[in-house]
Chain A
């Protein structure tokens, strides 16, 4: 037996958050029940499956897609996705000529109603600092290699608009149902660090 049977103390950020939270509660600025309800909402109810529904609908319904690209906020609301950090949405479409990728260089702005809360790497300085100046290099680290013929279009969302990437519908999905298509759409493909891979038997 080693002598280390005690529990390690919490990390500094964890302690800081606990201190902040207890202060805010003591001063009655926040209500712990409300905080729990917010966390539960984004852990279990709102996440990238919402965005995947939007993408799948756009893939099967050209009129919906036209509305989505013309007024993202309104078209996303048609599927019931509205709210905090999705008040003013812009949807950008990947094509054979253009690949879009989204970042917030100044903080971590992200479209919550369609994608949920951002992944840790999206909030981290290395992604935010590098994807603007070397998007192809960063995408390669995500396993996404883009042809030199494709324009990489970076969207830095520091202002009040929030961006959702509409990935290209992959080959091998002709005739698929909306549900089956939605299951293919990854969170990262809607940020733009990934593409939706072609389906079907490897040949």
Chain B
């Protein structure tokens, strides 16, 4: 891979590179679904923060399809899937000393979630 040349910097800075994938992939969830974040302790790269594992939230928005970092970071393919904004109450994450009013939004991939029925 050749190094980026100085002249290319403005182009690179201005265009970036989205990890959005323009492919039709079926979503596993939709807005309003109650979900449980999977408990896992992987050795590999992940974007699933520890504090959310095993916690319950509600899918608020579907952001569309993105490359899955847990595989792509290791050269194991894009495994494109939906990313959702999931709403958690502060109390679900931090316990009774947290404010009853406060909430947190975290963007999570399909493979991090299970449906709560």
Contacts and interface: CB of A to CB of B under 8 A. Distances in A.
Interface in A134-160: 135-136, 148-160
A158 B49 contact: yes
B105 interface: yes
B104 A132 contact: yes
A148 B101 contact: yes
A31 B106 contact: no
B107 interface: yes
Interface string B75-109: 00000000101000010011000110111111111
B103 A151 contact: yes
A82 B94 contact: no
Interface stretch (A9-17, A83-91, A118-126, A175-183): A83-91
Given A31-B3, A34-B6, A136-B99, A159 B108 contact: yes
Contacts, number: 118
21 contacts: A29-B3, A31-B5, A31-B6, A83-B15, A83-B16, A85-B16, A86-B16, A87-B20, A88-B18, A132-B93, A133-B93, A135-B102, A136-B102, A152-B101, A153-B103, A156-B49, A156-B106, A158-B106, A158-B107, A159-B107, A161-B63
Given A105-B51, A160-B20, A160-B66, 18 more contacts: A29-B3, A34-B4, A34-B9, A38-B9, A41-B9, A82-B16, A83-B13, A85-B16, A106-B49, A133-B51, A151-B101, A153-B105, A154-B103, A155-B105, A158-B106, A159-B63, A159-B108, A160-B63
A184 interface: no
A133 to B, nearest CB: 5
A156 B105 contact: yes
